[in-house]
Structure 1
């Protein structure tokens, strides 16, 4: 009795027939399991569990594994807006059949050396980070790497070691990664400000409590809080933010609270606002004799 379901689970939900059945009897049993609907046939000689993730199914159907930006969510990392399309797929160049056209979905093919593993499923974390950091604009690439330092078992030293072998654009992103960043929005805005010549410190301590921190601090007086859409949707969060902002402004701080949409839909607008405050010198406390 062949247990193809267990074998497929051991392979991450998708595998070649040759890895599931090693003789003619096994091949016949495999075809019978497919005819009973226990398995899905994605392409010639490739089978999957019916409940397999749709993106992984499509990647396997064209002959490879999810890669780069498309692999980020599978590793529990931050992904930029629009990361679900196109689907990035890595295909080994020993695939006998050229990748098929994906119906109704744009797929970008990246070729890998023959024998690359895993053939299907999701690219390993290191490979996904290297490709995403190279393909994305710098602010997004840094946000991805920040999230890897935050969520993955990866230290800053390990990231720099990995990045030594990356392409120049990806290495530049790794050089700016900061483990203190707590959200993709915060990371993106930090890099956008840096590109405008404005230094912003992530997760700076605040004088209103032992654990109070600002998402970004410019100078010693301008605080920037980067709110998510989910955060704004809760009235209790909004009230707490207003009370916190009032306490900080009473101490002489300036508080900006751009939301997700402002950062991603109008990045130039929020950068211009910060730049105007900096140009006036309002981001710095008054100093005696100045």
Structure 2
């Protein structure tokens, strides 16, 4: 039998429990929001704090690093507490449900980042669209406008963010468009501009670059123009990417 970890008084967890889960239980709650979603390989734009859900009657909260120290303004640094009533009863789990984690992530992120997280969870089949619709009814009404912007066909967080940036420009954007003899492209803008959101995991190595360049040449032969911003550019330099897109759109030959 494996050893146990004493997270706090009367709370023991298996020795192989993830450290973030142990720290959340030590505080006095359950792991949630970006902390839990990142563990499940759901896209989150920024993740630094420990996100913990607490019941309304929570008491005797402790430092996530030391169960002997009370949670104070000093020991609370790096901890984000969530008090929203849960959608799904967690039972004895040390984590909230993924639907509750997604609900909390909407409150914790800017709209584009929240939509990228939701698209990621939907695309991976971790939740259904009808469940997400119900989730939005549990959130303040001002967030419900986001539901219409979801698209589970988006295969990555940066792709969702890029799609929303393009919509902000008033462009017509189609997602995951298939071209005979070439394959699918991430985004097709105004019927002629192809945007591929490249990530390190799928576009490294000479063979991958050769394949990508061949696709671009084949698309060019059919009258399409391709832009390939990296995921890092989309996230860290959105103004640069948008400037390139605007210039391309403005200079399209008639």
Q: Which bin holds the TM-score, normalised by the shorter protein?
A: 0.7 to 0.9
Q: Counterpart of 1:21?
A: none
Q: Which stretch has the larger CA shift, 176-185 or 105-114?
A: 105-114
Summarize the Cα distance change of 1:113–1:275 in structure 2 as closer, same or farther, 3 Å threshold.
closer
CA shift, 1:250, in A, is: 1.3
1:245 to 199, 205, 216: 216
1:257 to 204, 215, 228: 228
Q: Which stretch has the larger CA shift, 243-252 or 89-98?
A: 89-98
1:223 to 189, 194, 207: 194
| Contact 1:76/1:151 (<8 A) preserved | no
Alignment of 1:97-112 (within 5 A): 97-100=60-63, 102=65, 106-111=78-83
Confirm or deny that 1:266 pairs with 2:231. no
| Contact 1:42/1:57 (<8 A) preserved | yes
TM-score by length of 2: 0.86
When the two chains are superposed, the root-mean-square deviation of aligned CA atoms in Å is 2.4
Q: Unaligned regions of 5+ residues in structure 1, if any?
A: 6-37
Q: What is the distance in 1 between the residues matched to 2:18 and 2:126?
A: 24
| Contact 1:40/1:50 (<8 A) preserved | yes
1:78 to 32, 38, 43: 43
Summarize the Cα distance change of 1:111–1:161 in structure 2 as closer, same or farther, 3 Å threshold.
closer
Q: Counterpart of 2:70?
A: none
Q: How many residues align?
A: 243
What are the superposed Cα offsets for residues 91-130 of structure 1, whole Å, 9 maximum, x if unpaired?
123333123254797111123569x634652210111111
Q: Counterpart of 1:161?
A: 134
Q: Which stretch has the larger CA shift, 56-65 or 168-177?
A: 168-177
Post-superposition, which runs of at least 4 consecutive aligned residues in structure 1 deviate over 6 A?
none
Instruction: Give the secondary structure class of the aligned counterpart of 1:237.
Output: helix
| Contact 1:163/1:174 (<8 A) preserved | yes
Summarize the Cα distance change of 1:260–1:169 in structure 2 as closer, same or farther, 3 Å threshold.
farther
Q: What is the distance in 1 between the residues matched to 2:190 and 2:208?
A: 26
CA shift, 1:221, in A, is: 0.6
CA shift, 1:39, in A, is: 1.8
Q: Counterpart of 1:89?
A: 52
Alignment of 1:13-162 (within 5 A): 38-80=3-45, 82-83=46-47, 85-100=48-63, 102=65, 106-111=78-83, 117-118=90-91, 121-162=94-135
TM-score by length of 1: 0.76
Q: What is the distance in 2 between the residues matched to 1:140 and 1:40?
A: 34
| Contact 2:173/2:189 (<8 A) preserved | yes
Summarize the Cα distance change of 1:161–1:49 in structure 2 as closer, same or farther, 3 Å threshold.
closer
Larger helix proportion, structure 1 or 2?
1
